[in-house]
Structure 1
Amino acid sequence: GTPRKRGAAASSAPALGKPESFSWEALQQRAAALARAPYRAPAKVAAAEAIDYDAVGSISYKPERTLAGGIRLFPLGRYAPTPVAIHVVERGQARAVDFAADLFKTESGHHAALGIAGFRAVSSDGKSDWMAFIGASYFRTAGSQDQYGLSARGIAIDTGIDGKEEFPAFTAFWIEATGAQSYTVYALLDGPSVTGAYRFVCRYTDGTDGGVVQDVSSTITLRKDVARLGIAPATSMFWYG
């Protein structure tokens, strides 16, 4: 009985890559070095176009594959078709999460998962989430009443002026559990005009007086001049029903 239980628990965890040294200082250096190279847009998964808003809702991350005490992954879809790299950090060592379709549960007759689009942190009871990163440099958190309101972005480029707005994207994340419902999330930003290293120190408190606190640090390097640069921009979203 006992050996089989241990084997089942081990097999439920997502496969992780080899450990590599990781630090905030090294990420900042990596982002600065990236800015000295020509920008290369990350490849989108063409098949994700077929997974619309309703269809992506039919794909859910399996609770038993939860990472780092409360992290679950988002699948690719029409509105988030670009895979991102996810790493788990422990004691200064980072290990990449290997994508596998069986990390996700798909309703009968719907598309299987095609890749990882982002992640969310779930509450201690596993019934809701309190933080999510998905799409471009978007992220959001829940309030004391367990509801989402504003979404934030890591950066805004040429918003509200003539010409085309640019949407740099978080291409890789490193997630470090620092306590019960608290994480430090590191992210690498890349875009035609800018690169960046980001650190989000995030903590959630249950209860009516609870909520999420995030302390955000970033180091930005420009590839070229930007007409209008927005730091800590927010986007409003309103849901009816």
Structure 2
Amino acid sequence: MLRCGTDLVGMRDAVVRLVGLLVVFFVGSFSTAHAQGFFDKLIERARLSAGQAYAKETAIPDTAKLGYDTYRGIRLRPDSVLWREGGGRFRVEFFPTGFLYQTPVKIYVITRSGTPDTAGTATALSASPEMFDFGKATPPAQVGFAGFKVTYPLNGDKHDEIISFLGASYFRPIGTGQAYGASARGLAIDTAQPRSEEFPEFREFWLVEPAPGDKTLTVFALLESPGASGAYAFTLTPGVRTTVDVDARLFMRHGVSMLGIAPLTSMFLSGKSGPWRDDFRPEVHDSDGLAMVTGEGERIWRPLTNPGSLQVSSFVDNNPRGFGLQQRERRFDRYQDSVAKYQVRPSLWVEPKGDWGEGEVRLVEIPTPSEYHDNIVAFWVSRWPVAKGQALEYRFRLSALSDEVALASDARVVATRQASIEGNARARRLVVEFEGDTLAKLAEERLVESNVEVSGGKLLRTETDQPPGSANRRLFIDVELEGRRAIDIRAYLTAGGERLSETFAGQVRP
């Protein structure tokens, strides 16, 4: 059974120990104003915490014995599901500590309604081995909560998962008809930097009890790391496009060389441009490209790769309108994997709220031999350094979607391929295929041209053609490598001076 225990009001010894639980009381129901009041208190707690030395959370040693297969088989017992009664749409299921997730998190429920003594009360939930079915494995003497997932009648009357919070600051939203793929994180610190990467953790969560007819769910979280403390508010709206509105308030314990905002994580093992593998599956990836809309409105597409060595790419911008890791290839025959179902993995799209100023969208591509390792990271980095004691505020909407076409009005890149050129060992041919209404509606007699820019190498030739029986256009770009430098290529299609497509931004590497 689910166990509860009410904590004391406010924070206990906030300045000295910062271990008190945030508990508030409101008369009547928990309104939007009450939620903001609670968040304000959580922000203050994060600010105070950042002024104290970082304290690492203690793991539960017993749960280290729960290996991968055992952990996968653990099930939450039905009577331990939160909000299983009451007629509401949202339910919450909990993950136990174990396997890689040995450090417990604290989870509280804020009651939305009730008597003047109970409405708006934050109540701590207690984990116990009796809450879980461990199958044939011996239950540990002690367990904690490692995280949780939210279910909702997304694809019919049955409750389906719509988001999970599990491990460090990871969370994974999905929409109608989708399967888990790319992930989001609360914060990235020193990713792909000379010093070791820091992985901030969500330490505590507050779940706001929804009313029976509510179609949104609010979750608050406290983030901690050696470099920062943060207060987060998540507003989850499930649907064909599940959205998560994020309000993040950060306070720096010390300066960091790289602070990644709205980080996204994914996997790319192989795609249309390789690398070629001894595998019956033509493509294996959770995402196949980084999409961006700049502050000036330019749409950019960067295909992902599985590089031979660590690659970091930067796309400088001012007040970006959006960026995300997309899964554009939606045909099963391009994956041939009926278990992984890569064709229904979500595209994650970040839309900043307010001005984020000058900075860059940074893409990190890491070599991987296996589909079981995430090797792609994308996030926003401000131009300005981050110093100790600094307070930062970022708000954005994160969408999990499958209808990427709806994001673009111009033709978009649907395939990128590379080949060698006979007779020149330093030359490579890049073939970029575009599709979209701007091409489909184009009169046959209109000539499609290209605008191609190359840096770091030599442009040899460009040519466009139209595949038989298709309105698509292919752009052939021949380039020549110079030394050990990679060639950066930007290209888009035009007709009579009118722009027809998004900008392709790719690389040819030695």
Q: TM-score, normalised by structure 2?
A: 0.42
Q: Which digits, 9 at most, give the CA deviation of each residue in 1:171-228, with x for residues without a partner?
A: 00001133545310100000100000000000112xxxx2311100010000000100
2:149 counterpart letter in structure 1: R
- Aligned pairs for 1:1-241 (under 5 A) are 12=1, 14-18=2-6, 20-21=23-24, 23-68=38-83, 69-91=90-112, 92-112=120-140, 114-124=143-153, 125=157, 127-179=159-211, 180=214, 182-205=216-239, 210-237=240-267, 238=285, 241=339
2:251 counterpart letter in structure 1: T
Shift of 1:49: 2.0
CA RMSD of aligned residues (A): 1.8
CA contact (8 A) 1:157 1:166 kept: yes
Change (3 A) 1:110 1:129: farther
Q: How many residues align?
A: 225
Say which SS state the counterpart of residue 164 (structure 1) adopts.
coil
CA contact (8 A) 2:6 2:124 kept: yes
Shift of 1:126: 5.1
Say which SS state the counterpart of residue 233 (structure 1) adopts.
strand
Change (3 A) 1:181 1:72: farther
Say which SS state the counterpart of residue 238 (structure 2) adopts.
strand
Shift of 1:128: 2.9
1:186 counterpart letter in structure 2: F
Whole-Å Cα distance in 2 between the matches of residues 140 and 198 of structure 1? 15
1:236 counterpart letter in structure 2: S
Q: Which digits, 9 at most, give the CA deviation of each residue in 1:140-197, with x for residues without a partner?
A: 1113213112100000000011110001100000011335453101000001000000
1:58 counterpart letter in structure 2: G
Which structure 2 segments of 5+ residues have no match?
8-22, 26-37, 84-89, 113-119, 268-284, 287-336, 340-510
Whole-Å Cα distance in 2 between the matches of residues 49 and 73 of structure 1? 18
Whole-Å Cα distance in 1 between the matches of residues 162 and 47 of structure 2? 31
1:89 counterpart letter in structure 2: I
CA contact (8 A) 1:75 1:116 kept: yes
Say which SS state the counterpart of residue 16 (structure 1) adopts.
strand
Whole-Å Cα distance in 1 between the matches of residues 150 and 125 of structure 2? 16
2:69 counterpart letter in structure 1: D
Q: TM-score, normalised by structure 1?
A: 0.87
Could you say which structure has the higher helix fraction? 1
Q: Percent identity, aligned pairs only?
A: 34
1:129 counterpart letter in structure 2: E
Cross-structure match for 1:8 = none
Task: Name whichever of 155-164 and 98-107 sits farther off.
Answer: 98-107
Task: Name whichever of 81-90 and 104-113 sits farther off.
Answer: 104-113
Shift of 1:64: 2.3
Using CA pairs under 8 Å that are at least 6 residues apart, name the structure with larger relative contact order, 1 or 2. 1
1:45 counterpart letter in structure 2: I
2:144 counterpart letter in structure 1: G
Cross-structure match for 2:399 = none
Which structure 1 segments of 5+ residues have no match?
1-11
